[in-house]
Amino acid sequence: MKKQFSVDPNLCTGCRTCELACSFTHTVDGKAGRPRIYATPGGFEDLWVPVTCLQCDDAACVKSCLVDALKRNPETGAIELNEAVCVKCMACVAACPFGCALVDPEQDKVIKCDLCGGDPACARFCPTKALTYKPSELKASKIKVLG
Amino acid sequence: MVRLTINGRVVQAEKGEMLLVVMNREKISVPAICNHGAVEAFGACRLCTVEITKNDWNGWKNYVTSCLYPVEDGLIVSTHSETVINLRKTLLDLHLARHPHSEHVRQWAMEYGITQTSFEEIPDGDDCILCALCTRICDRMGFAAISTVGRGHGKEVAPPLNEPPPDCTGCLACAQCCPTEFITFSDSGTSREIWGKQFEMITCKECSKPILTKDFAETLSKTRNIPADYFEVCDECHRKATALTMGKISQWQREDTAS
Amino acid sequence: MVIEPRGTLYPRVKVKDVEKIIESSIVNDEPEKTLLYSPNGNSSSVEKYKNIPFYAKQQRIALRNLGMIDQYRIEDYIATGGYQGLAKALTDMTPETIVDEVKQSGLRGRGGAGFSAGRKWATCASAEETPHYVICNGDEGDPGAFMDRSIMEGDPHSVLEGMIICARAVNSHEGYIYVREEYPLAIMNLQLAIEQATSYGLLGDNILGTGFSFTLKVSKGGGAFVCGESSALMRSVGGDVGEPRAKYVRSVLKGLHDKPTVLNNVESFANIPPIIVNGGKWFASIGTEKSTGTKAFSLVGKVRNTGLIEVPMGTTLREIIYDIGGGIQDDRPFKAVQTGGPSGGCLPKEKLDLPVDFDSLTEADSMMGSGGMIVMDDQTCVVDLAKYFLKFLVEESCGKCTPCREGLYQLHSLVDKMSDGRAVESDLVLAENLSKSIMIGSLCGLGKSGPNPFISTLKYFREEYIAHIRDKKCPAKVCPSLISYEIIEGPCDGCMACAPACAVKAITGEKGKLHVIDQNICDRCGACKAICTRQAIEIH
Ligand SMILES: Cc1cc2nc3c(=O)[nH]c(=O)nc-3n(C[C@H](O)[C@H](O)[C@H](O)COP(=O)(O)O)c2cc1C
Ligand code: SF4
Ligand code: SF4
Ligand code: FES
C-alpha cells in the first residue's frame, strides 16, 4: 500500500525537531536548507500541527508549472521539483493551497517536500510520533482547508 | 546503453543522451551559460565545446558543443584539451571586451585566468551576452513576449517595437534566469515593473505580502484551471490556515474523547 | 546576340544594326561581316561564337539555354529538349535508377560544400520518416555572384525539371524554391514557369499521367546572407526567423519541419536534366575524376571580359583569367583572385596553374563556394581586401553565437588597425589565434569560414601585412592612412586644376608654379590625382 504522512496534532509538542531534520537533510554546500515542514500553532492551547506537503493527487503546484519542473516520482510518490528546469516564476508557491511550495532565499531556489527519497527525515526524528510516514488510504485531495 | 570515454574515464549513458547531461551526471564540469533545463539546448555561447574523436577516426578530431551532441558508443571526449581551453579563453576574452562592466562575466573569465581583455573594449557594452535564455524561456512559458531583434553585433533582446510587451504577464522568469542579471525590474508592495510594463500585484488577504501579478494569476487560473482564490493568500498564511483547520478537527476529537 | 544554327555572334548589337543583321543572317544566311566580333580592332573577325576564346574554353551544361531560348515560353524549353529528362525519369526509370544515375554522374553540390548529390538523394529516399521535401537554394548571397540568378531568370524550367526529377527519386510531393526578395525577376519567372509547367501536366497532380504528384512553391527570403545556410534556410521556409540552428543531425534526415529534406543549389538542379538524358557516365567523363562536370562562375574584377562563364572542372585559373577573361585590364600585373565569395580565399599568382575543382581549391585554403571569382590587379591591397570582406561578414553574421558575433567584429577591428597603421606585431598573433577559435567555435558555416579572407591573404601575402604593421606602408598604395599624395616637380606646371578640386583645401600654389600638398590637412581622397592631366601627382 502507498505510504503517506499521518499527522496526529494531539501528540505534537511543537518541539520543531521535524523542521531541523528537514533543514539538515537539505544541506547544500554546507548551507542548511530552509525546512519544507513547519510545526504551526493549531489555534488551541498546546495544539500544534506539523504542516507539510501531502503530495496531492491532482496537485495545484504541478498544474501551475508552465515548464514542467514538477513531476511525480513514481517510486516514492513524491512530487519532485527539478531545480535545473525551474524558472523561479513562483507560480507553484502561489498556487499551493497548503503553502507547501516555498522559497529558500539562502540557497536561492524554490523548494518543496521530496519525501527524502522515500524515508522522510522529519517523521523519522519526531520524538512523539505525532508525525509518521506509513501505509495509508487517506486521499490528500479530500482534505479541504476550512474557512 | 553506450560506453564512452570522458577525460580517460569510461562512463555509461543512454544512447542519444546529450553529452553535457552525461558530463553533469559524472560531475565533469564545463561552462555552459546558454543552457537551461527548461528549454532545448541552443548552442549560442559555445563555451561547452569539447574535443571528440573515435578510435577509427585515424587521429581526426572534431569540436562539438556538448549541450547538443548526442552520445554514441566509442566516443572519446576531452573536455579540457589545449585547443578547447584556448577556445574558451578566447570566448571569455571576447565577452570581457563586450561586457566590461558585468561582474558575472568577470567571474567567468577569472576562472580561466583572464582578468584583462586582449581586445578592444566596447565602452558602452551592456551586460547582455545574448544567450537568449530569456526569450526562449518566455516562449516556453507560452508568452513569447520578448525576442531578439536585429542581427550581428547589433543584436539585442527587446519587446516588440520596444514598447511595453502586451503578452508579458510579469512572471519574472526571464529576469530570474538571466545569467548576468541584466534584466531589471522593480517591485513595490503593490506593483511591479518589467520591460517598461506596469503590473498590479495580488497581495495576501491576511498579511498583505505581495504574491504574484494579477495578470500571471489570471493566466494560470484560466489556462491551468486553478481556482482564483488559491492565489489570494501567501504561502505562510496558507500554512497557518492549514494548521488551524487541522487543529479544529483535532480539538473536536479531543472534546469527543473527553466527553 | 547569337544567330543559330550557324552560331553567328554579334557583340554589342545596337538598334540600328538589327535591320542589317536580319537582311544578311536570316534572309540570306550569311554573316554581316561588319558587325562581327574582332579580337584586336578590325583585323580579322570571327563569326562563330564557339571560336572566340571567351567561348572556346567553355562548356555549357547548367547554362545551356541562357540567351538561347525565350525564358517566358515553356514551348521554347521543350523545343530544345526540355522535360525529356523528366519524361524519361518518370516512364523508363525507377526512383532507385534515378538515384544511381545521379550517383554515377559524380555531381557534387554547386552551392558551396560540394557534397555528393547522389548520396544526399539516396539518404533522403531511404529515410523512413515522411513526408520528404525537396528545396532549391536560390538565395545566392555572395555579393557579385549572379550564376543562380541568371539561371532562375533565364532558364527557370531547367530548375523545375531538376527538382521534379529529384522529387520522383526521393518520393517527395512538396517542394520549395527559396529566392531572395531582391531577385523579383527570378521570382516572377519561376512563378510563371510553375504555372506553365502545371498547365502542361508536368507539375501538380498525376504528372504526365503517371500517378506521381509534386507541387512546387516559391518561398521568398529576406535577403540575409546567412539565410543561404541550410538550417537557416529551412527555418525561414518553415516560417521562422532565418537563423541557423545548432544540431548534429543532418538536414537530409531532419530538415524542413524536421522531416527528411533534399536541399540543393540552383545550378545543381539545372545539371540534373542533362544527366538523366545523357547518362551519368557522360557527365562523369567531363571535368576531373573527383569533381565531375562543369562549374559556372561569375568572373568579375579587373579582367577584360567579365561575365558568366561555365568551364569543365579542372580548368586552370590561368585559362579562366587569361584565355576566357582575356587577361588583366590595361595589361597590369595579376595579383590575386578571390574564389568562393566573401568567406572564400584569395589565391596569388603562384597558384595560377591550379586546376579549379573542389579539392584543389580547398587544399589551397580557398574554396569553390557558389562560384564567385573576383580578379585583382596590383592596385589591390590584400589587407584592405580582407577588411572589406570581414566587414561584409560582420554585418551579415546573424549574431546568435559568440565566436562569430564578437569574434568577427574584433577580427575586423584588428585588420582595420593594421590597415590604419595603428597595429603592433602582437596584433597579428592575436588575430591568428582569434581566427582559429572562430573557425572551430562557430555554430554555422558563416562563422566557421568567416576568418578565411584574413587567413588566406595572410598565408600568401604575409609580407604585405608586415609592411603595414612594422613599416607603416601599404605596398599597393591603397590604405589611406599609410600613403601620401605628393606633387612632383617637373610635370607640375602650376595649371591650378588640382587646388579647387581638393575638398579640404590642402593644396597651395600659384599659377605657373609648383603646387604643394599639406600632408597634415590632406585626407587622401585622391581627387587631385584624378583631375591632374600632367601626371604630376604620385602616391607614396
Ligand atoms: C553562410 C552560408 C551561406 C550560404 N549561402 C548559400 C547560397 O546563397 N546558395 C547556395 O546554394 N548555398 C549556400 N550555402 C550552402 C548551403 O548551406 C548548402 O550547402 C547548399 O545549398 C546545398 O546545396 P548543394 O549541395 O547543391 O550545393 C551557404 C552556406 C553558408 C554556411
Ligand atoms: S537578457 Fe540575459 S537571459 Fe536574455 S539574452 Fe541577455 S544575457 Fe541572456
Ligand atoms: S556562425 Fe555567425 S551566422 Fe552562424 S550562427 Fe553563429 S553568429 Fe549566426
Ligand atoms: S551551453 Fe552549449 S553552447 Fe552554450
Nearest CB neighbour to A44, from listed B173, B226, B251: B251
* Residue with CA closest to ligand 2 atom 6: B128
Please report the domains of chain C, with CATH numbers, ordered by start residue.
2-51 (no CATH), 74-284 (3.40.50.11540), 294-377 (3.10.20.600), 382-471 (1.20.1440.230), 484-539 (3.30.70.20)
pLDDT of residue C25: 82
pLDDT of residue C339: 93
Cα-to-centroid distance, B49 and ligand 4 (Å): 7
DSSP symbol at A9: G
Residue C445 clears pLDDT 70, i.e. is over it:
yes
Instruction: Name the helix (H) or strand (E) containing C347.
Output: strand C345-348
CB spacing of B43 vs C401 below 8 angstroms: yes
Segment C190-212 mean pLDDT: 96
**Residue range B211-249, pLDDT digits in tens:** 999 999 999 999 999 999 999 999 999 999 999 998 888
Per the prediction, chain A carries an average pLDDT of 89
* Residue with CA closest to ligand 2 atom 2: B178
Please name which of A142, A131, A125, A118 lies closest in space to residue A52, comparing C-alpha atoms.
Answer: A131
DSSP for B109-136, please give it.
Answer: HHHTT--S-SS---TT--S-----HHHH
Say whether residue B29 is in contact with chain A using an 8 A CB cutoff. Answer: no
Segment C270-285 mean pLDDT: 97
Cβ(C180)–Cβ(C141) below 8 Å: yes
Model-level ipTM above the cut of 0.90: yes
pLDDT of residue A139: 54
Q: Which chains touch C (3 or more CB pairs under 8 A)?
A: B
SS3 A133: strand
Nearest CB neighbour to C413, from listed B49, B91, B120: B120
Q: Which residue has the higher pLDDT, C264 or B189?
A: C264
pLDDT of residue C401: 96
pLDDT of residue C365: 87
**Residue range B60-109, pLDDT digits in tens:** 999 999 999 999 999 999 999 999 999 999 999 999 999 999 999 999 99
Cα-to-centroid distance, B178 and ligand 4 (Å): 14
pLDDT of residue C78: 96
Cα-to-centroid distance, C228 and ligand 1 (Å): 5
Radius of gyration, alpha carbons of chain A: 15
Segment B138-146 mean pLDDT: 96
Interface test with B, best of C402, C432, C448 (most B CBs within 10 A): C402
pLDDT grade for A147, boundaries at 50, 70 and 90? very low
Cα-to-centroid distance, B184 and ligand 2 (Å): 11
User: Where is average pLDDT lowest: A109-118, B209-218, C181-190, C522-531?
Assistant: C522-531
The CA distance from B18 to B70, in Å, is: 4
Give the residue, out of B39, B46, B88, B95, with the most ligand 4 atoms within 8 A of its beta carbon, to mutate for a pocket test. B46
Segment A69-88 mean pLDDT: 95
B2-80 maps to which CATH number?
Answer: 3.10.20.740
Cα-to-centroid distance, B157 and ligand 2 (Å): 7
**Residue range C40-54, pLDDT digits in tens:** 655 577 888 888 878
Q: Which residue has the higher pLDDT, B6 or C242?
A: B6
CB spacing of C247 vs B68 below 8 angstroms: yes
**Residue range A108-129, pLDDT digits in tens:** 999 999 999 999 999 999 999 9
Give the amino acid at A131.
L
Grid coordinates representing B15 are 544512447
Grid coordinates representing C417 are 588597425
Ligand nearest to the CA of B137: 2
pLDDT > 90: percent of chain C:
77
The CA distance from C202 to C190, in Å, is: 14
CB spacing of C397 vs B153 below 8 angstroms: yes
pLDDT grade for A142, boundaries at 50, 70 and 90? very low
For residue B127, CA distances in Å to B59, B130, B147, C242, C291 come to: 40, 9, 17, 25, 48
**B173-182, C236-245, C363-372: range with highest mean pLDDT:** B173-182
CB environment C455-479: b (16+ within 10 A), e (fewer): bbbbebbeebbebbbeeebbbbbbb
pLDDT of residue B257: 79
Q: Is C73 exposed, middle or buried (0-12, 13-18, 19+ CB in 10 A)?
A: middle
The CA distance from C189 to B226, in Å, is: 56
pLDDT of residue A1: 63
Chain A residues touching B211 at Cβ < 8 A: 90, 94
Chain B residues touching C440 at Cβ < 8 A: 49, 63, 83, 87
User: Where is average pLDDT lowest: A51-55, B213-217, C19-23, C520-524?
Assistant: C19-23
- B133 ligand 2 Cβ < 6 A: yes
Q: Which residue has the higher pLDDT, B12 or C24?
A: B12
CB environment C485-520: b (16+ within 10 A), e (fewer): bebeeeebebbeebbeebeeebbebeeeeebebeee
Please name which of C285, C289, C298 lies closest in space to residue C339, comparing C-alpha atoms.
Answer: C298
Give the amino acid at A76.
T
Q: What is the 3-state secondary structure (H, E, C) of B175-241?
A: HHHCCCCCCCEEECCCEEEECCEEEEEEECCCCCCEEEEHHHHHHHHHHHCCCHHHHHCCHHHHHHH
* Residues near C310 by beta carbon (within 8 Å), at least 6 away in sequence: C58, C59, C60, C61, C62, C63, C294, C295, C296, C297
State the residue for C-alpha cell 532549391. C136
pLDDT grade for A137, boundaries at 50, 70 and 90? low
Per the prediction, chain C carries an average pLDDT of 93
Residue C120 clears pLDDT 80, i.e. is over it:
yes
pLDDT grade for A138, boundaries at 50, 70 and 90? low
State the residue for C-alpha cell 553506450. B2
Q: Which atom of ligand 1 is least distant from the CA of C230? A: 17
State the residue for C-alpha cell 571526449. B77
The CA distance from C260 to C247, in Å, is: 15
Nearest CB neighbour to C397, from listed B47, B90, B151: B151
Please tell me the distance in Å from B15's CA to the nearest CA on chain C. Answer: 14
CATH class of A3-145: alpha beta
Segment B188-216 mean pLDDT: 95
State the residue for C-alpha cell 558602452. B124
Cα dihedral B54→B55→B60→B66 (10° resolution): 20
Cβ(A87)–Cβ(B176) below 8 Å: yes
pLDDT grade for A141, boundaries at 50, 70 and 90? very low
Residue B203 clears pLDDT 50, i.e. is over it:
yes
Give the residue, out of B21, B24, B30, B35, with the most ligand 4 atoms within 8 A of its beta carbon, to mutate for a pocket test. B35
* Residues near C66 by beta carbon (within 8 Å), at least 6 away in sequence: C60, C150, C151, C154, C155, C308
User: Where is average pLDDT lowest: B91-95, C12-16, C342-346?
Assistant: C12-16
CB spacing of A40 vs B242 below 8 angstroms: yes
Cβ(C178)–Cβ(C237) below 8 Å: yes
Ligand 1 neighbours (beta carbon < 6 A): C 109-113, 115, 137, 139-141, 225-226, 228-230, 263-265, 268, 370, 444-446
The CA distance from A67 to A78, in Å, is: 18
Residue C188 clears pLDDT 80, i.e. is over it:
yes
Give the residue, out of B146, B182, B185, with the most ligand 2 atoms within 8 A of its beta carbon, to mutate for a pocket test. B182
Q: In chain B, which residues fall in CATH 3.10.20.740?
A: 2-80
Residue C112 clears pLDDT 90, i.e. is over it:
no
Say whether residue B230 is in contact with chain A using an 8 A CB cutoff. Answer: yes
Backbone angles phi, psi at A49, to 5 degrees: -125, 120
CB spacing of C401 vs B45 below 8 angstroms: yes
CB spacing of C433 vs B45 below 8 angstroms: no
SS3 C303: strand
